[in-house]
Every structure is written in C-alpha cells, then in structure tokens.
Amino acid sequence: MPGLLRGVARTAAIAGTATAVSNRVSRRQAGRWAAQDQQGAQQSYDAAPPQQQYQPEAPPAPPADEMDAKLAHLKELGELKQAGVLSEEEFQQQKDRILNG
C-alpha cells in the first residue's frame, strides 16, 4: 500500500507541475499574440507608412521560465521526500531527471 500511495503522490506532483507549466506557456503565448495584434492595429491607424528599418532579431527568451519550473518541481520533490513519500534514491533519480532532462 505505501508503494501505491507513493506512486499516486508522484503522479499527482508530476501532473500538477505539467499543468502549471502548460498554463504558463499558454498565457505567455496569448500575451505575445495580443501584443502583436495591438502593434498591427496601431500601425494600420498611423497616417504615415512606417519606415522600414533594420531590426535585429530578438534574442531568444531567457530560460528563466524553464528554470522557475524546474525549481518549483524540485521544491515539490523535496516536500514529498520530507513527507516520506519518496525515498532518497527516488528523490535523487527524479532530481537528476529534472536537472538533466
């Protein structure tokens, strides 16, 4: 029975983390689309056509969101370990999977 409870708790933690990450990605993408729509609408209302200038590509998004998600997941794993749901070995395996994957 403890093994079943441990598996259920691990699955719940992973599913919760995946849901949180998915929601965050969806909100960020919706915000980007809204900003692009607003810029497009603003440009169409301008009387003078916009001058074309060279604009360097935006640097890739910093991995801060990814790191935040990893830290949150590690925190959840630590809480599960402290609660006795995960053994030290299971904790290390999951931690390695998060940090290296």
Domain ranges of the chain: 2-46+63-100
Interacting residues of 89 by C-beta distance below 8 A, sequence separation 6+: none
Could you say which DSSP state residue 86 is in? S
Specify the pTM. Answer: 0.38
Q: Distance between CA atoms of 84 and 90, rounded to whole angstroms?
A: 11
Give alpha helix (H) positions in 1-101: 2-45, 64-82, 88-100
**pLDDT value for 51:** 63
Interacting residues of 77 by C-beta distance below 8 A, sequence separation 6+: 13, 86, 91, 94, 95, 98
Give alpha helix (H) positions in 46-87: 64-82
pLDDT digits (tens, 9 = 90+) for 20-60: 777 787 888 888 888 887 777 666 655 555 566 666 676 66
